[in-house]
Amino acid sequence: MTTLFPISVKTSATATLALAFIFSTMACKNSQSTASASADKSDAFVATTDKEASDSEYMKAPSVEPGAYGLVALAQCPTEDTHLSVVMADDGESLQILYDGKELQTISDEDGFAAPKEESQVHFMDANFDGYTDIFVGPAQSRTYSTLLIFDNATRQFVRIGSLGTPSLQNFMLHPASKTVFEGGSNSWCNNSYTKSQWKDGRLDAVEDLTAVSDPAEYGANGVAHAYTLRSADGKDLTAADSVDKLPEEWRNYLRALEVE
């Protein structure tokens, strides 16, 4: 028969100190790892925040206060931008868009752009009310040589709206409160036509068209019976009037801003 004797385990003072040192070291390493992980997360947060701040400022549109009648005319929009600049070719067949002095994009005649350098002006604005800077190129009075370039944040490129001369872009004005665009001008010595448009899926869609004929003798030839004829984009007659005062308020305001009575 085997007899079992209890075993008494005694821990020396030296062993106790050794164990205490080991546990202390492990705790310190865990603390350092936690602190390092926190620092990494903090750095990542700062980097993300900086990037978001940078993205929020990228192509940020200039702030332009509406003028008379709540409209923003082309002349109110700045001709210089903090980051963007436009370099016109001498022949007017192409332009370069630079961001902080580096080429971002080239627009050529093949893209539907053409404007003699000496006749062109550049204005920066938020033409489609999305908060990003857009570019208007061309003299304010010439529909033939005006081009509207809208910044597409998804592709980080500028996109030309319509084709050369369509929309006319003559007498171009923005109405930020209603997010509408007015433009138009002379078709002949007695006939002016204007369009009110809104943005839809990245394009400028006509909502209403106004025909103004100054000579009553020419009403028939122009398909109208009054000095001012307002129609919907699908051709439905909305208003016919012989004076600006009889038109809807937004149209009265636009024509008055053009000094048309």
In which band, very low, low, confident or very high, does the pLDDT at 84 lie, cut at 50, 70 and 90?
very high
Q: Tokens representing 70?
A: 């709540």
Q: What is the DSSP string of 118-178?
A: GG--EEEE-TTSSSB-EEEES-TT-STT-EEEEEETTTTEEEE-SBTTBS--TT-EEETTT
Mean pLDDT of 101-126: 78
Among 132-146, 154-168, 198-212, where is mean pLDDT lowest? 132-146
> Which of 217, 216, 214, 244 lies closest to 230 in space, CA to CA?
244
Among 67-71, 167-171, 180-184, where is mean pLDDT lowest? 167-171
At 115 the pLDDT is: 59
Q: Are 85 and 98 contacting, i.e. CB atoms less than 8 angstroms apart?
A: yes
Res 39 pLDDT > 80:
no
Return the percentage of the chain with pLDDT > 90, whole number.
56
27 sits in which H/E element? helix 13-57
At 137 the pLDDT is: 87
Name, of 50-54, 129-133, 136-140, the range with top average pLDDT: 129-133
pTM of the model: 0.76
CB count within 10 Å of CB 170 equals: 21
